Structure 1
Amino acid sequence: MDPLFNTTEFNGTGNNGSGNGSEGLNQFVQPVWQIALWGVLYCSMVAVSVVGNMVVIWIILAHKRMRTVTNYFLVNLAFAEASMSAFNTVINFTYAVHNEWYFGPIYCRFHNFFPIAAIFASIYSMTAIALDRYMAIIRPLQQRLSSTETRMVVLVIWTLALLLAFPQYHFSSIAALPGRTVCYIDWPEYSSLDFRKLYYVCVTVLIYFLPLCIMGCAYTIVGVTLWASEIPGDSSQRYKEQLIAKRKVVKMMMVVVCTFAICWLPYHVYFLLHEFFPELFEQRYIQQVYLGVMWLAMSSTMYNPIIYYCLNSRFRAGFQQVFCCCSPTVGKEELELKSPRYMQTQMSIYRASRLEAAVSTSVEIKTV
């Protein structure tokens, strides 16, 4: 089977699509109750992921106060995760259960191509957020990314993602076996180079270990800086609020990164073992293992909206506004709190009150 997310080898077929004694028959037939249980788990996960990430995108794009550099990358992250859930997860579940490809050659290419691009875009959006937080906190005097520069970074991320995933698109194919059709990747064979193993090792490093190392270093330095900073007794209230806000954002993103790392680790270990120890994957129970590992990996797409809701008051207000858990006006006020117009209004009120107090004091002194 090929990672992300080809499953042809559950049925005893090799990468060339030919049988190895099973004559193309499905060797892994599950009871109906198991299929139903997995179906409920996968469909529920997809529903939560797509709805939650679409709400995140709306919250950010529909409210000017939410359009920050960090949140633009969160939009890219939410788009990648919602797309992968919507276009790949249910299809891959169906293929993993039935071991027959029903969706034609064009979608076979897309099915093998898009997940790598989406995961690359997701994790490097998180990496970009980590580097942005690092620059904002460790080097605050340097100029921050503008909205145009942020869009350019997102474009570069997707360009690199598509290039990395292109081999899976190029070598994807379908084969008609006796009694069924399979979607597989027909990797080229070189006498001195195992292209398949080299590609998957590179992909695993580039979409998992390398970005996690970068984010780990960045958040370690940022965390030490923020949580080792003691708020002096005479600090201004504004300084205290800024420090607390920075800590909240960093805490939220650290939880997002850790969740991603935990969910995807078993998946990458599974496929690395499969590449180097294929004999371990000839048992009947391996299909259940794969479905569990794949569900855990894909479930990472549904946790981020939940994390935002729990750890960020503005996202919480946005979700409440969408799902009518409280007065829509309250959610809107929270999302627009401390907007430039709000701050200007509050400053005008403050100045007017100070002027009124000064005039009143002056009149009282003259009267005395």
Structure 2
Amino acid sequence: MKNSRATVEFHEDFHIPIPLDTNNITALSPFLVPQDHLGDTGLFYFMGAYMILLTIVGTAINGLTIVCTIQYKKLRSHLNYILVNLAVANLLVTSFGSSICGISFFYKYFIFGPLGCKMEGFTASVGGMVSLWSLAVVAVERYLVICKPVGNFSFKSHHALFGCAITWVFAMVAAVPPLVGWSRYIPEGFQCSCSPDWYTTGNKYNNETYTMFLFCFCFGVPFTTIVFCYGQLLFTMKAAAKAQADSASTQKAEREVTKMVIVMVLGFMVCWFPYAGFALWIISNRGQAFDLRLATIPSVLSKSSTVYNPVIYILMNKQFRSCMMQLVFCGKSPFGDDEESSTSQVTQVSSVGPAS
């Protein structure tokens, strides 16, 4: 009887049309029974432990970022607003995404039901999209401040607040449609997390058009923005380094910026390219068989961004790192005068403009 009920609910709400890959199709609802056919128990437990680890570490780093910004007035600059915005988005993902997925992995199915799936998929999507767009806004901010494409543009608090607000607007534009009939939120991969339906075909939800919208608007536009802004930043720094070949500090700043750009672009690609690439493959190969478990990889990498993005954008910021250490170690930073050197370097880099 339990399996019969599971079959009905699964086919009514989240049926994956046959033929896709009959080896991957189950008649057992991911909301009612363990999905043992998708993997060994040890694999489920490993994924659960990893998600719980992401929840703990991500909550600690991003929570500490917010607390430090409140505690230390010197961190409350308009250029840091977007980093706090990134931390808030990451906390949303760890609180309603990674934690819920971790619990579900230990049960080996999504125990929170169809409504919980919609809630988890929506909140994780909002947090993820805010995080994604925040990275693009960071790139634009640095482009405007360092490259000075509009002359002596003065970056004010209202510009920073607008940048933060636009990330939430764009996130809502991307995450709300599956709640109102354009695509839908369904279990993915090992059926222990939820996301927009980007891989089923032949239903009334127009998944193909929504997937193309996500690919273009939520990956193509931010990625193009990041590549353009950081590319211009590199050209500006290299021009400054060439013009000031005798300045050791300028040469050092150019090397630091080059390293920063490479790390940030690679971080973005690791976070979002698997989702974008897999979704594009699905659109281009409709009806071809694929292993549903592969959908877990993009989900895990995107949720991992709640840890490695703060490491790249916040912990690599010496001023933030110094304040965090002071807070954790009760006022004594083990980094000594890193804060002062960081402030000096940021001032120098920010003052570099296009050669006239």
Q: What TM-score comes out, normalization by structure 2 length?
A: 0.72
1-side partners of 2:312 and 2:202: how far apart? 49
Worse overlay, 223-232 or 22-31: 22-31
Q: Which residue does 1:323 correspond to in 2? A: 328
Shift of 1:143: 2.4
Alignment of 1:305-344 (within 5 A): 305-308=310-313, 311-324=316-329, 328=332, 335=339
**Cα pair 1:119 1:207 within 8 Å, conserved:** no
Root-mean-square deviation (CA), in Å?
Answer: 4.2
Change (3 A) 1:311 1:170: same
- Specify the code of the residue in structure 1 equivalent to 2:301: L
2:268 paired with 1:260:
yes
Shift of 1:60: 3.2
Worse overlay, 89-98 or 56-65: 89-98
Q: Which residue does 1:5 correspond to in 2? A: none
* CA deviation profile, 1:65-98 (whole Å, cap 9, x unmatched): 2223331111111211221122112323555675
Q: In structure 2, which of residues 218, 226, 233 is the aligned counterpart of residue 215 of structure 1?
A: 226
2-side partners of 1:259 and 1:184: how far apart? 21
- Specify the code of the residue in structure 2 equivalent to 1:313: K
Q: Which residue does 2:303 correspond to in 1? A: 298
Corresponding residue SS for 1:148: helix
Worse overlay, 108-117 or 202-211: 108-117
2-side partners of 1:48 and 1:266: how far apart? 23
Q: In structure 2, which of residues 14, 17, 26 is the aligned counterpart of residue 17 of structure 1?
A: 14
**Cα pair 2:48 2:106 within 8 Å, conserved:** no
Identity %: 23
Residue segments in structure 2 that go unaligned for 5+ positions in a row: 1-8, 19-24, 30-34, 188-192, 344-356
Shift of 1:29: 5.1
**Cα pair 1:13 1:24 within 8 Å, conserved:** yes
Shift of 1:166: 0.8
- Specify the code of the residue in structure 2 equivalent to 1:199: Y
Change (3 A) 1:265 1:173: closer
Q: Which residue does 1:144 correspond to in 2? A: 154
* CA deviation profile, 1:88-133 (whole Å, cap 9, x unmatched): 1232355567574432555333222223322221122121121121
**Cα pair 1:248 1:312 within 8 Å, conserved:** no
Alignment of 1:228-243 (within 5 A): 228-230=239-241, 232=244
Q: Which residue does 1:199 correspond to in 2? A: 210
2-side partners of 1:219 and 1:194: how far apart? 37
Q: What TM-score comes out, normalization by structure 1 length?
A: 0.69
Paired residue total: 315
Q: Which residue does 1:43 correspond to in 2? A: 52
Q: In structure 2, which of residues 140, 148, 151 is the aligned counterpart of residue 131 of structure 1?
A: 140
* CA deviation profile, 1:227-270 (whole Å, cap 9, x unmatched): 332364787xxxx7688668746743552332121232223322
2-side partners of 1:190 and 1:277: how far apart? 8
Q: In structure 1, which of residues 58, 81, 106 is the aligned counterpart of residue 67 of structure 2?
A: 58
- Specify the code of the residue in structure 2 equivalent to 1:32: T
1-side partners of 2:196 and 2:267: how far apart? 30
2-side partners of 1:221 and 1:49: how far apart? 31
Change (3 A) 1:98 1:209: farther
Change (3 A) 1:41 1:269: same
Q: Which residue does 1:31 correspond to in 2? A: 40
- Specify the code of the residue in structure 1 equivalent to 2:274: P
